[in-house]
């Protein structure tokens, strides 16, 4: 088994760039997915296969991967981006599907 | 419209049983895994298990094995999550979500709105 490690919180001012990381020793061999969850709402997929953005997700959301760390970057953060963000990964067979602990993004 | 419709909020007493549902529509329900995800108040997302409606293949996360039962009725495009004896610690919102899968990729591309469950004496 493995764990996905995220920082508990990230704070940025409007217009700045927010970077949320997700780390695990197994990540060089697995894709990471990112979900945004606003209070009282279901999670929403905002990034898949490390760097691919689903349709309808603003271009200010991007993803990158380097070694054992995958990063969700939000450029030009807006107030509406304030939410909890969760990374998720899985082994190739789907036997282990795991969420990170979540990161609360605060827009100051 | 592609969606997952979950059953409504529940208030139960400890020791009671419960079965909540998740109906898929707008897509070929038997062909996609469905996962159940727990979110306790103020906490993160935890995968409880997944089921493939096509053949009822079920995989439980270790923490939830023996604690809940996941099932499906593909004739009515509905997945279920049930408890035989609820505990106060089962108080949470439960989401069903569709898994999109390919070789080396597994992710939740469609979510239900969640079913809040409160267990209190």
Alpha carbon of B47: minimum distance to chain A alpha carbons (Å): 7
Q: Indicate if the pLDDT at residue A92 is higher than 90.
A: no
Q: B50 — contact with chain A (CB < 8 Å)?
A: yes
pLDDT band at residue A73 under the 50/70/90 scheme: very high
* pLDDT tens digits for range B57-116: 999 999 999 999 999 999 999 999 999 999 999 999 999 999 988 777 899 999 999 999
Rounded to the nearest integer, the mean pLDDT of chain A is 93
Residue of chain B whose Cα is closest to the Cα of A55: B109
- Using a CB-CB cut-off of 8 Å, the residues of chain A touching B101 are 94
> CA A70 from chain center: how many Å?
8
pLDDT band at residue A28 under the 50/70/90 scheme: low
Other C-beta atoms within 10 Å of A108: how many? 10
Q: Indicate if the pLDDT at residue A1 is higher than 70.
A: no
Q: Indicate if the pLDDT at residue A23 is higher than 90.
A: yes
Q: Do A97 and B35 touch (CB under 8 A)?
A: yes
Cα dihedral B36, B114, A85, B62, rounded to 10, equals -20
Q: Indicate if the pLDDT at residue A76 is higher than 70.
A: yes
The closest alpha carbon to B96, from B9, B12, B20, belongs to: B20
Q: Do B44 and A101 touch (CB under 8 A)?
A: yes
Contacts of A74 (CB under 8 A, 6+ apart): A17, A18, A19, A20, A60, A61, A81, A105
- Rg over alpha carbons for chain A, rounded to the nearest Å, is 13
Task: Answer for the pair A17, A74: CB distance below 8 angstroms, yes or no.
Answer: yes
* pLDDT tens digits for range A39-67: 999 999 999 999 999 999 999 999 999 98
Residue of chain A whose Cα is closest to the Cα of B42: A39
Q: Do A97 and B109 touch (CB under 8 A)?
A: no
List the structure tokens of B87.
């505990």
Of B47, B95, B103, the CB nearest to A42: B95
The sign of the torsion formed by the CA atoms of A26, A32, A38, A41 equals: negative
Decide: residue A72, CB within 10 A, 0-12 exposed, 13-18 middle, 19+ buried: buried
Residue of chain A whose Cα is closest to the Cα of B49: A97
Q: Do A99 and B35 touch (CB under 8 A)?
A: no
- Using a CB-CB cut-off of 8 Å, the residues of chain B touching A63 are none
Q: Indicate if the pLDDT at residue A95 is higher than 90.
A: no
């Amino acid at each position: 088994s493995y764990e996905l490690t995220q920082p508990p919180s990230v704070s940025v001012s409007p217009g700045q760039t927010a970077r949320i990381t997700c780390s695990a020793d197994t990540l060089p061999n697995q894709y990471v997915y990112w979900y945004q969850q606003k209070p009282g709402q279901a999670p929403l997929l905002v990034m898949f296969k490390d760097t691919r953005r689903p349709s309808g997700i603003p271009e200010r959301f991007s993803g990158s991967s380097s070694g054992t760390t995958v990063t969700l970057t939000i450029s030009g953060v807006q107030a509406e981006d304030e939410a909890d963000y969760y990374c998720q990964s899985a082994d190739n067979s789907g036997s282990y599907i795991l969420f990170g602990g979540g990161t609360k993004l605060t827009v100051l | 419209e592609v969606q997952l419709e979950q059953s409504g909020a529940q208030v139960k007493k400890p020791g009671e049983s419960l079965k909540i549902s998740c109906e898929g529509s707008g897509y070929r329900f038997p062909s996609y895994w469905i996962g159940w995800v727990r979110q306790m108040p103020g906490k993160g997302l935890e995968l409880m298990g997944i089921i493939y409606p096509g053949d009822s293949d079920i995989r439980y996360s270790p923490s939830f094995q023996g604690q809940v039962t996941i099932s499906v009725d593909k004739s009515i495009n509905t997945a279920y999550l049930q408890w035989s004896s609820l505990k106060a610690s089962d108080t949470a919102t439960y989401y069903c979500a569709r898994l999109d899968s390919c070789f080396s990729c597994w992710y939740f591309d469609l979510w239900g709105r969640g079913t809040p469950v409160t267990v209190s004496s």
